[in-house]
Structure 1
Amino acid sequence: MNEPFPAPVTLETDRLTLRPPTAEDVDALTAACQDPEIQRWTVVPSPYRRADAEFFVEKLAAPGWAQGSATWCVVERTTGELVGTQALSHRGPGRAEIGYWATAGARGRGLTLEAVREVCRWGFAERGLRRIDWTAYVGNEPSHRLAVKAGFTVEGVLRSWAEQRGVFHDVWMGSLLAGEAGLPG
């Protein structure tokens, strides 16, 4: 996963297209990140401004592909609507960490689970990963439930592990290994 990608990759599922963020996504990203739950459970800036979405697209997501970390906008195929983001960030030889958020309108519809499964499938099958890590701030029950449904094994709590806007939080840590949950290994 530490090797750069020759080009960004688009993934598709029955209901979703996962594609690299572009300038055309800035308004939708800005609107989505006004959601207090996204700001509560992620490291997106708060308050979230249009300039933050531009920075995300231009300075984080686009260069990340060249560094071996992948970021996607998750778009519902039937509507073309942004329903979330997914990222698979390089964390060492054969290892990456998945990150995701979903818009308020997408929650509870199984879309993020579908996207997580596709990203993990791709990471194992196409990038040769042996392990994908998942972390979430302790208390983020929706992320915890989704990770378990996706086949992640929750391994424990890492105390004072993750920094968010100057505050350190305990996090749940989990993993999915190649070959688990019916994914190719």
Structure 2
Amino acid sequence: MDEPLAAELPTLTTDRLLLRAPRESDIDAVHAACQDPEIQRWTIVPSPYRREDAEFFVRDLAPEGRRTGANRIWCVFERGSGALVGSQALVLRAHDPGSAEIGWWAVKEFRGRGYTTEAARAVSHYGLRGLGLRRLEWQAYVGNGGSRAVAEKAGYRFEGTLRSYAEQRGTFHDAWIASLLPGDLED
């Protein structure tokens, strides 16, 4: 891989978005966004989502992931307004250092504008080209059509359904899986 595992998180930009490491000043916006029942339904964020959870996300989870190389987490902002529009993450796999799982959530008010797809493309490009990964995987609980649409628009190829695979708060759900390889990227 091209970048050392325990490196600073690069800021990524697109035409409309800025993706950067979470900061202390983001805690209130992350807390407000994760009150959305749909984010709690389709992700592994705690439910109910407390302010302490947003503090942990910003102060502990994201920095520790960067320090160890286990994950990279970005807060995604609209460039014009500076508003938080979502989050993106790459979780690297200790058992397979050449692959990572990509994940995201989107603030309710910003869904349907293509922001999550735009951010996913930037993060995917960084993972496959910047980190030199050979494979990115997207997973979502069966039924999460919004996330699946983003994955497909970002170029991920659907591979199937994993039965009783994805754990969420002690319950295992069937999960869709798709992948993106370096040769799939559009430059």
In structure 2, the partner of 1:164 is 168
In structure 1, the partner of 2:64 is 63
The separation in 2 between residues aligned to 1:115 and 1:106, in whole angstroms, is 13
Shift of 1:3: 4.2
1:34-89 CA distance string (max 9 Å, x none)? 00100000000111010000011112111101222210000101001000000011
Matches within 5 A, 1:47-86: 47-68=48-69, 69-86=71-88
The separation in 2 between residues aligned to 1:28 and 1:107, in whole angstroms, is 16
Do the aligned residues in 1 keep the contact of 2:159 with 2:177 (CA within 8 Å)? yes
Give the total of aligned pairs. 183
1:108-167 CA distance string (max 9 Å, x none)? 000000000000111111100111000000000011111111111111111111111111
In structure 2, the partner of 1:94 is 98
Structure 1 residue runs without a partner (length 5+): none
Give 1:119's match in structure 2, choosing from 118, 123, 144: 123
The separation in 2 between residues aligned to 1:93 and 1:30, in whole angstroms, is 32
Q: TM-score, normalised by structure 2?
A: 0.94
- Give yes or no for the alignment of 1:173 onto 2:174: no
Q: TM-score, normalised by structure 1?
A: 0.95
Letter in 1 for 2:135: R
- SS of 1:45's equivalent in the other structure is coil
In structure 2, the partner of 1:134 is 138
Structure 2 residue runs without a partner (length 5+): none
Question: Stretches of 4+ moved more than 3 A in 1?
Answer: none
